[in-house]
Amino acid sequence: MKCRLTYLLALLLTLSCTSNNRGNKAERIVIESAKPLSSIIDEVRYVSLKSDENPFSGRIDKLMSKGDTMFIQDLVNTNSLKAYNTYGEFLFSVGQIGRGPREYLEMTSFTIDSQYIYCLDNGNRRLITYDIHNGKYVDKRALPSFYASDFALFDDGNFIFYVDDKPSLGGGTFITNKKFEIIEELTPITENNYCLLSTQNAFTQNENSIIFSSYAKDTIVVFDRKSYTTPARYYAVDFGDFKATKSDKRDFDQLGATKHLVPPVYVFGNRIIGNTNVPTDAKANYFMYGSFAYDMLGKQTYLNANIEDILDKKTALDTKLVFPFEGIVGNEIVSILNSYDKYPELVELGFPKAPQHIESQLAEGEPILVFYRLR
């Protein structure tokens, strides 16, 4: 602990010298004027993750994909990273838990490129590289003693790290080179802009971009994946009169009663895809997030129907209601349906029934992935 605090003090001093406020103006994503999200969904399919020896826990902390392979991380329940194909068949596990030279102690996060899987092992303070085709160990690099929540890798070999949302932990986003030496601070967390909720998954990526989001701010930053030096694009989610203020984000009761961005956020083609907190009463407690999409070209926002209006029969249920987004696989967006309790009520309200074998798996407590293809 003393070593960590010493490093963080040094980190803060370094960042004070390298801080660079890029001053870019953010484009507004207006939630209150959104169209129904179901209007841009073309197809829905259900997938169960199949593995007798490696059962799916029902938790997704991070999901990334390459081609027809999806990588699903479960940090909390199993501290594991597993690969499946898009039909749900288990392919392989990435690494194994331990203190050995090829093992990880805590796989806090991971990222990928065309060849490798990079795993952030905070427990052993190292970055471990595995082969993306089979999950086999390749090499490792020692990390400084900071405890990052998430990271991503630019094509030029530089890294971007996120260190929690707490100012006492040196919170914020910063760029390092290949040796993990800090180059630039991007979004420092201060006593005026932090959030009580900790951001675990701050970064997502596609072939062209790295996307950053956190609970601390309702702003989405889209970096050019080629290099951090290319000007980033900024998008501010506008919740109107229902937005969470800076003080709300430091009060759990107020935070739950207001609307705010829920990381992570994705870029899918020309659309930004994400989730927002939507305050509900007890009767709608199974649906706490509003999934949304923003067309960056057409400047149009799409949002799920209001669940309370649906339950009160004030509006019809969207036949393609979207559960909170968990990731993007190929040309589809992925959500998870991990409880049978909510399913029958949704079907009664008009939600399309799943195939019989999917219903049986849900009834037995097996979580199911839902894949959405957008128009």
Q: State which residues of the chain have pLDDT below 50.
A: 1-21, 282-288
Confidence (pLDDT) at 236? 96
Instruction: Tell me the one-letter amino acid at 250.
Output: R
Angstrom distance (rounded) from CA 213 to CA 199: 8
Confidence (pLDDT) at 300? 95
Nearest 5 degrees, angle CA 132-CA 138-CA 144? 105
What is the phi/psi pair of residue 4, to 5°? Answer: -65, -45
Confidence (pLDDT) at 281? 52
Are the C-beta atoms of residues 180 and 143 closer than 8 Å to each other? yes
Secondary structure of 287-327 in the HEC alphabet?
CCEEEEEEECCCCEEEECCCHHHHHCCCCCCCCCCCCCEEE
Confidence (pLDDT) at 286? 41
Confidence (pLDDT) at 240? 86
Confidence (pLDDT) at 20? 42
Nearest 5 degrees, angle CA 112-CA 107-CA 63? 45
Confidence (pLDDT) at 321? 63
Residues in a beta bridge with 118: 111, 129
Angstrom distance (rounded) from CA 221 to CA 219: 7
Angstrom distance (rounded) from CA 136 to CA 145: 26
